[in-house]
Structure 1
Amino acid sequence: MTKDEVRRELLARRRERPDDDRWRDAAALAAALPGVLDELGADPQRPVCLHVPVRREPGAAPDGAVPVLDAAVALGRHVLLPVTVGEAPLDWAVFGGRADLVPGPHGLLEPGGARRGPAAIGEATVVVVPALAATAAGVRLGRGGGHYDRSLPLASPTTLLVALVGDDELVAELPAEPHDVLVHAVWRPTAGLLRTGAPGTP
């Protein structure tokens, strides 16, 4: 199957997911965040790059709440969120709470504060990357916009890249291309964290 065919199948499956399950997943991810950061050895002095989940992505609660972001702020973490700038690599801005979020392109919510520039990803200890699916070898399938494909190469060699997927979205194989950046771990709401052992894992 092509990437687009796999995307259509995965998106259709997500649309069928009941709201009660989405609530459960969002709460489970928020509760697990402290342990996940500890397990990854995330440097508390460096930022964590997260994202505002959209539509039916893992972590998106049916009422629009984003418990994972709230949990990160409650931990006192310095959180950076992506800001989409055309076809350029993602920009980044500080997230201090839900009041910071404003509407952006593609139906996304983004922080409205000062932008830090695409290179800010290089400061992060962990980057949690949205994905439709991932493999145990670290292959990640995104939505196809290419924003993270252009941004992840700017991360530091010591930055851990973590794909966030649903419990049933860790799959045996995915179509991949040479430019695809492998992730170092896969995080699922109730199944937890899986280190992939991808080359270059810090």
Structure 2
Amino acid sequence: MTVLPATKDEWRSRLLADRRAVPPEVRATEAAALAGFARELVDAGQTVCGYVPVGTEPGSVQMLDSLRDAGVQVLLPVVVGYAPLDWAVYEGSLRPGPHRLLEPTGPRLGPQVIGTAAVVLVPALAVDSTGIRLGRGAGHYDRSLVHAAPDAVVAGVVRDQEFLPHLPFEAHDIRMTAVLTPGRGKIDVSSP
């Protein structure tokens, strides 16, 4: 019998180790599938908040380029201390930012601009069937998602194996409305 992690930190350790074991060619295939599914979520003229994957996170810059090429405005996060994320338009180029993260070169638009997005793609280590998202623990997205439009699709992007039945939850955690996986595409989740 496999013993499941109990705490968020235990889950993080396990999920990060599992991700490191995924071969690069599998990650590339999954990234291509996610790009196709992400493109299906929005129409030309709409806005999507995306992210630049770090390390073994699912997704790719090619997904962002595909959205831009389809006439979608892509906003990317800019980390500013422990405040909510700032956002800037992705114009096809990135520069190094703090914390070894890549950020867009476009002008910063402020934390509230997330409210203009029809879709918010959120990096996650895992998401459960009720929309609980496990991130890396800094809280940037939880502080930022309070500004998202009430009708926006807020999708945690994970590998298929990272869509789980149950994760630990804290009162400040903001729930996802959907999950995006490379094998199944968009899966709607329901809060309890």
Please give the TM-score of this superposition, normalised by the length of structure 1: 0.89
Q: Deviations over 1:14-36 (max 9, x none)?
A: 0111011011011111122222x
Tell me the SS of whatever aligns to 2:156: strand
Shift of 1:43: 5.9
Partner of 2:33: 28
Tell me the SS of whatever aligns to 2:29: helix
Rounded to whole Å, the distance in 2 between the matches of 1:45 and 1:70 is 15
> 1:136, 1:194 within 8 Å by CA — same for their partners in 2?
no
Distance 1:93 1:101, change over 3 A: same
Tell me the SS of whatever aligns to 2:160: coil
- Aligned pair partner of 1:8 in 3, 8, 13: 13
> 1:33, 1:71 within 8 Å by CA — same for their partners in 2?
no
Rounded to whole Å, the distance in 1 between the matches of 2:149 and 2:184 is 28
Shift of 1:58: 0.5
Shift of 1:164: 0.2
Tell me the SS of whatever aligns to 1:12: helix
> 1:125, 1:160 within 8 Å by CA — same for their partners in 2?
yes
- Aligned pair partner of 2:172 in 179, 183, 186: 179
Q: Give the residue type in structure 1 aligned to 2:87.
A: W
> 1:164, 1:187 within 8 Å by CA — same for their partners in 2?
yes
- Correspondence 1:101 to 2:106: no
Q: Give the residue type in structure 2 aligned to 1:114.
A: P
Rounded to whole Å, the distance in 1 between the matches of 2:55 and 2:101 is 9
Q: Which deviates more from structure 2 when the two are superposed, residues 44-53 or residues 145-154?
A: 44-53
Partner of 2:64: 69
> 2:43, 2:72 within 8 Å by CA — same for their partners in 1?
no
The gaps in structure 2 that reach 5 residues or longer are 1-5
Partner of 1:191: 184
Partner of 2:114: 121
Partner of 1:47: 47
Partner of 2:104: 111
Tell me the SS of whatever aligns to 1:168: helix
Shift of 1:47: 1.2
> 2:27, 2:58 within 8 Å by CA — same for their partners in 1?
yes
Q: Give the residue type in structure 2 aligned to 1:29.
A: L
> 2:117, 2:148 within 8 Å by CA — same for their partners in 1?
yes
Rounded to whole Å, the distance in 2 between the matches of 1:24 and 1:79 is 22
Rounded to whole Å, the distance in 2 between the matches of 1:107 and 1:189 is 26
The gaps in structure 1 that reach 5 residues or longer are 61-65
Shift of 1:44: 4.3
Q: Give the residue type in structure 2 aligned to 1:147.
A: H
Q: Give the residue type in structure 1 aligned to 2:35.
A: A
Shift of 1:192: 1.5
Instruction: Give runs of ≥4 in structure 1 deviating > 2 Å.
Output: 31-35, 42-46
Rounded to whole Å, the distance in 1 between the matches of 2:43 and 2:27 is 29
Shift of 1:196: 0.5
